[in-house]
């Protein structure tokens, strides 16, 4: 997805490789993102886009109806120049089922690794809380409003960055945010994906992602410790209210139609996006790529960040869908027939 394509001097390509079966039997997507964007002083603080793999099954379900969100994410990035960007998860919730675009939505980001000086929305106000003992480290919570969408963004940044591998249950992340009053556990999880944001640089990210939502009754887990940061700036940035706002319901980003009472799904379905494409668009074969530049996307709205501390993150378009894992199974071959001469 290129939400500032007109500001790109260079190219950004994303490739789908394959769907594989992980060591625990879950399906994983192999993909990569190639960035070749020239550094321009006037736009170096403007994010140019976001390459990601997204869920399409078991979304639009209340958090209370989700048993777990198991995930594994491994990546390597090779840079030939200075690079600015991150590796992250990005989810959208709302008290209205399927709504991921109105201002009552919540955008949730879990940053795993970042470089080049990228800062989250709300950085200038300071962290509003610290969450301890989550995925083996402590996290600072930053919160602010995206000026382009009007949606509140809550970003967790780790005290110790993850270097190429992450594994855990993302439900724990969402429960920790619910404990901070960002939303209630009755909210709907409407969008879920993982990927990389990019600003500039010449770099190649090779990644493998496993991500799925398992429905059911959540098991009792260890409590997440939350400590409020003792700073005056934190008190000036209140957490978003969990009270739903009555607004028109938008169409769901996902094509999923799974009901809350549906059984747990063990085979995830993914969507894959680099540019805004119609929902019926099929993923290109692994031998092709999507190449984007400022001249190829005249309809992409350009967004600017007024200061280095305010990151623009517009709404996600509807992503195309990867083929289901079942379609990747080899087909049975006909048995050879042996013909013998008559006696």
- Provide the token pair at 268: 């995830």
What fold is seen in the domain 5-326? Answer: Jelly Rolls (2.60.120)
pTM score of the predicted model? 0.69
Q: Are 69 and 26 in contact (CB under 8 A)?
A: no
> How far from 165 is each of 35, 73, 80, CA to CA, in Å?
21, 6, 22
> How far from 172 is each of 202, 245, 310, CA to CA, in Å?
35, 25, 27
pLDDT at 342: 54
pLDDT at 177: 98
pLDDT at 153: 98
- Residues 214-236, mean pLDDT to the nearest whole number: 56
Report the alpha-carbon distance of residue 307 to residue 309 in Å, rounded: 5
pLDDT at 3: 86
* Per-chain mean pLDDT for the chain: 76
Per-residue model confidence as pLDDT tens digits over 262-311? 333 333 444 444 333 333 333 333 333 333 333 333 333 333 333 333 34
Per-residue model confidence as pLDDT tens digits over 66-102? 999 999 999 999 999 999 999 999 999 999 999 999 9
How does DSSP assign 56-121, residue by residue? -SS-SEEGGGEEE-EEEEEEEEEESS--EEEEEEEEEEESSTT--SSTT-EEEEEEEEEETT---T
> Does residue 192 have a pLDDT over 70?
yes
């Amino acid at each position: 997805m290129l939400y500032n394509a007109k500001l790109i001097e260079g190219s950004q390509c994303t490739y789908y490789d394959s769907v594989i079966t992980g060591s625990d039997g879950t399906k994983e997507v192999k993909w990569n993102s190639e960035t070749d964007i020239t550094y321009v002083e006037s736009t170096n603080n403007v994010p140019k886009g976001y390459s990601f793999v997204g869920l399409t099954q078991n979304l639009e379900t209340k958090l209370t109806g989700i048993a777990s969100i198991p995930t594994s994410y491994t990546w390597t990035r090779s840079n030939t120049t200075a690079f600015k960007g991150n590796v992250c998860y990005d989810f959208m919730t709302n008290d209205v089922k399927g709504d991921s675009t109105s201002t009552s939505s919540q955008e949730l980001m879990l940053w795993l690794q970042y470089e080049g000086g990228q800062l989250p929305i709300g950085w200038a106000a300071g962290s509003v809380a610290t969450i301890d003992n989550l995925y083996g480290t402590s996290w600072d919570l930053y919160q602010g409003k995206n000026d382009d969408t009007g949606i509140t963004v809550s970003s967790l940044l780790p005290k110790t960055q993850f270097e190429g591998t992450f594994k855990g249950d993302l439900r724990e992340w969402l429960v920790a945010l619910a404990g901070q009053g960002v939303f209630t556990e009755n909210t709907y999880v409407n969008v879920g994906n993982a990927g990389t944001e990019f600003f500039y640089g010449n770099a190649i990210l090779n990644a493998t992602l496993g991500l799925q939502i398992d429905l059911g009754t959540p098991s009792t887990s260890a409590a997440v410790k939350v400590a409020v940061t003792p700073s005056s700036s934190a008190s000036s940035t209140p957490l978003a209210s969990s009270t739903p706002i009555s607004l028109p319901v938008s169409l769901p980003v996902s094509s999923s139609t799974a009901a809350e009472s549906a059984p747990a799904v063990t085979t995830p379905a993914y969507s894959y996006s680099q540019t805004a494409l119609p929902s019926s668009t099929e993923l290109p074969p692994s031998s092709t790529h999507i190449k984007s530049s400022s001249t190829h996307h005249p309809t992409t709205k350009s967004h600017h960040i007024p200061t280095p501390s305010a990151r623009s993150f517009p709404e996600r378009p509807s992503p195309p869908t990867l083929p289901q894992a079942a379609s990747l199974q080899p087909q049975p071959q006909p048995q050879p027939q042996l013909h013998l001469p008559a006696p």
